[in-house]
Chains A and B, each alone.
Chain A
Amino acid sequence: MSSFDTFEPVLLEAAGIDDGHTIESYRSRGGYAPLEKLLSEKQPPEVVEMVKSSGLRGRGGAGFMTGLKWTFLPKDHPGPIYLCVNADESEPGTFNNRILMEDDPHQVLEGTIISAYATRASTAYIYLRYEYPKSWDILQKAIDEAYAAGFLGENIKGSGFSLDIYLHRGAAAYICGEETGLIESLEGKRAWPRIKPPFPAIEGVFRKPTVVNNIETMACVAQIARRGVDWFRSIGIPADPNNPRDPGSYGPKLYCLSGHVEKPGCYEAPLGITARELIDRFGGGVWKGRQAKAVIPGGISMGLMTEDELDTPLDFAGPGTVGCLGLGTAAVVVVDETVSIVDFLHNSCRFFAHESCGQCTPCREGTSWSLRMLERIRAGKGRLRDLDLLAEIGDTMGMMPGSTICGLADGAAWPIKNSIAKFRDEFEDYIKQTNPTGYMETDPVPALPIVTTH
């Protein structure tokens, strides 16, 4: 396997290049030639097979095998088939999609066109979050350039394949990053995720077969087409030979590093780098000479790792071994020793209460209830009992136990779960100190009005 010492960024190859976002720059770096080659030499099922054998797993957070997902589309469907590119990047701590779109939009576009060719999609919508106006302008320019160069539109390069790509603007709702929440939003409705089955591959946007893929996944597809399946598989952590169900963690990954580090930024490394390596090698270490108290491994939904868990490899399997939800978006956020875990959890609960779509009971009420408890604890009226209640919410709310429709609830639950399990003493001390006369109370107490959710 490639080591981190010798790894050269590919997804971020345009970083630092003036006008790297132009089609001229992209083509000079080898871009769009792979597309032309595929269009003339390979049929769509072969392209699906290529992506499947690369072992590429979706970079949006779920880590599902991309090529496999494409095979769920019905064969011989009369169409139209839709490809939705999820650029609604809203997971706290995550910004790699933004960098890909701003610095190398054509890489994203080429991957999108190849993916659309493979899935026989005739229209691709890039659902772009409202908060990325710069990405909007740059992407739209790149799309115009691609049309002008004949890589989009009717009968691309004489292949018989036609594709239109449209940008669709979001309106600041995190749940639009959920696959079927995105689809509902695209259709013009409130972004309430759909129950599954039917899955989008069978019945998606406008009731037609749909594939939803992340921006970074599209960039990987472009690189696989350019550099080959073997190259992709030479990077990362291979599948465990003793576990036939382990798909491995192949390919380069963009890790977003932020929080209490000297050098926050987006760093490309083979899948499997540890948090410690990432922080020390790329991030300049924990800032101000401090120690890390807790580290988020992949966006706040994934929960927390403690300082002694920082040697966990950040591949798809690693974070789960220390009780986190998964790799998620590989957004690593460092929390130093001066931060109160109560404040941390409050920030997380406030986020999820604000973003819960409100459709299903456990998430709508559970996110609100946990925020209220954190508000009350911070206001000096917490009780030890609250920790048990919070832990129970953390254990029971989510798609994994089956109690909710989508995974937002799991993301809301995991920080609660991990914080209470891994930092219980700190919670207890805080509660005892701030509410010395009432911390032993077990009966319900009067609710406080919430002031911080707008």
Chain B
Amino acid sequence: MIANRKVLTDDMLARIEALASRYPTKQALTLPALHVVHDELRHVPLDAVVEIAELLDLAPAEVQDTLTFYQFFYQEKPHGKVRAFVCRSISCALRGGEQVLDHLCEKAGIKPGETTSDGNITIEPAECLGACDFAPCMLAGNDLHKDLTPEKADAFLESVGRQNG
């Protein structure tokens, strides 16, 4: 089905195809397919876009159009092993969220939106994470970090460092 498969593994393909019966069109599989690849590789390389397009009978530009809209998927290179979203919307900003973001980035030695050189962590500003009851907050992987302080931020960075050596 895909002529020259270089990026999509059999497992990824299987997971995408398992969703096909949920939707009446192939194009609707675009976002789920992008997530499957991105979850695994931490980015969606250009070749993967071509393969997804072929799988879904779309032009690569159509898949790329969707991909770039979300400003969420990495493409050129993978994001860090941990991707930390620090909320900067109003409720978190009111309770020090921007200061925590600056502190985290300074400690990690990067600017907001960047990845550390060891590839361990990406720190990005995010818009409202829907956890305003625990502002300021941060989503790292599947973990919601609540009521962030500079101390908690430091502890988080240390634990990431420990996990990834």
Tell me if chains A and B make direct contact, with any CB pair below 8 A. Answer: yes
Identify the A interface with B (CB < 8 A): 80, 89-95, 97-98, 123, 129-134, 164, 166, 168-174, 185-191, 206, 256, 258-260, 264-266, 296, 300, 331, 333-335, 339, 343-344, 347-348, 350-351, 354-355, 357, 454
Assembly CA distance A97 to B130 (angstroms): 9
Chain A residues within an 8 Å CB radius of B25:
187-188, 206
Question: In the complex where A171-B70, A188-B30 touch, is A348 in contact with B90 (Cβ < 8 A)?
Answer: yes
Chain B residues within an 8 Å CB radius of A171:
31, 34-35, 70, 72-73
Chain A residues within an 8 Å CB radius of B35:
169, 171
Chain A residues within an 8 Å CB radius of B141:
133
Q: Which residues B116-165 have CB closer than 8 A to chain A?
A: 124-135, 139, 141-142, 144
Quick check: A187 and B129 within 8 Å, CB to CB?
no
Quick check: A95 and B132 within 8 Å, CB to CB?
yes
Q: How far in angstroms is the closest Cβ of chain A from B113? A: 5
B81 within 8 A of A: no
Total B residues in contact with A, Cβ cutoff 8 Å = 47
A-B contact count (CB 8 A): 144
Assembly CA distance A296 to B93 (angstroms): 14
Assembly CA distance A171 to B83 (angstroms): 14
**When each residue 25-38 of chain B gets 1 if its CB lies under 8 Å from chain A and 0 otherwise, what string results?**
10111111011000
Chain B residues within an 8 Å CB radius of A296:
90
Interface SS of chain B: helix, strand, loop or mixed? mixed
Assembly CA distance A272 to B134 (angstroms): 25
- Other contacts beyond A189-B62, A259-B95: 10, CB < 8 A: A164-B22, A169-B32, A172-B72, A172-B126, A172-B127, A189-B27, A190-B65, A206-B25, A260-B94, A260-B95
Identify the B interface with A (CB < 8 A): 22-25, 27-32, 34-35, 56, 62, 65-66, 69-73, 85, 88-91, 93-95, 112-113, 124-135, 139, 141-142, 144
Assembly CA distance A334 to B93 (angstroms): 12
Chain A residues within an 8 Å CB radius of B129:
131
Assembly CA distance A265 to B131 (angstroms): 9
A260: nearest residue on chain B (CB-CB)?
B94
From B30, B31, B124, B126, residue with most partner A Cβ within 10 Å: B31
Quick check: B90 and A344 within 8 Å, CB to CB?
yes
Chain B residues within an 8 Å CB radius of A256:
132-133
Q: How far in angstroms is the closest Cβ of chain B from A164? A: 8
Q: How far in angstroms is the closest Cβ of chain B from A212? A: 16
Question: In the complex where A264-B133, A266-B133 touch, is A258 in contact with B91 (Cβ < 8 A)?
Answer: yes
Quick check: B130 and A333 within 8 Å, CB to CB?
no
Chain B residues within an 8 Å CB radius of A333:
90-91, 94, 132
Quick check: B71 and A172 within 8 Å, CB to CB?
yes
Interface SS of chain A: helix, strand, loop or mixed? mixed
Chain B residues within an 8 Å CB radius of A123:
22
From B90, B126, B141, B144, residue with most partner A Cβ within 10 Å: B90
29 examples of A-B residue contacts, CB within 8 angstroms: A92-B90, A129-B130, A131-B130, A132-B130, A133-B139, A134-B142, A169-B31, A169-B35, A171-B73, A172-B127, A173-B72, A187-B28, A188-B25, A189-B66, A190-B66, A190-B69, A206-B28, A258-B91, A259-B95, A264-B134, A264-B135, A300-B89, A331-B132, A333-B91, A333-B132, A357-B69, A454-B71, A454-B124, A454-B125
Question: In the complex where A344-B90, A348-B90 touch, is A90 in contact with B130 (Cβ < 8 A)?
Answer: yes
Chain B residues within an 8 Å CB radius of A173:
69-72
Chain A residues within an 8 Å CB radius of B126:
131, 172
Assembly CA distance A169 to B124 (angstroms): 20
Quick check: B128 and A92 within 8 Å, CB to CB?
yes
Quick check: A454 and B91 within 8 Å, CB to CB?
no
Chain A residues within an 8 Å CB radius of B132:
92-95, 256, 258-259, 264, 331, 333
Question: In the complex where A134-B144, A173-B72 touch, is A93 in contact with B112 (Cβ < 8 A)?
Answer: no
A185: nearest residue on chain B (CB-CB)?
B31
Quick check: A91 and B128 within 8 Å, CB to CB?
yes
From B71, B93, B95, residue with most partner A Cβ within 10 Å: B93
B98: nearest residue on chain A (CB-CB)?
A347
Quick check: B133 and A188 within 8 Å, CB to CB?
no
Chain B residues within an 8 Å CB radius of A351:
89-90, 127-128
Chain B residues within an 8 Å CB radius of A168:
31-32
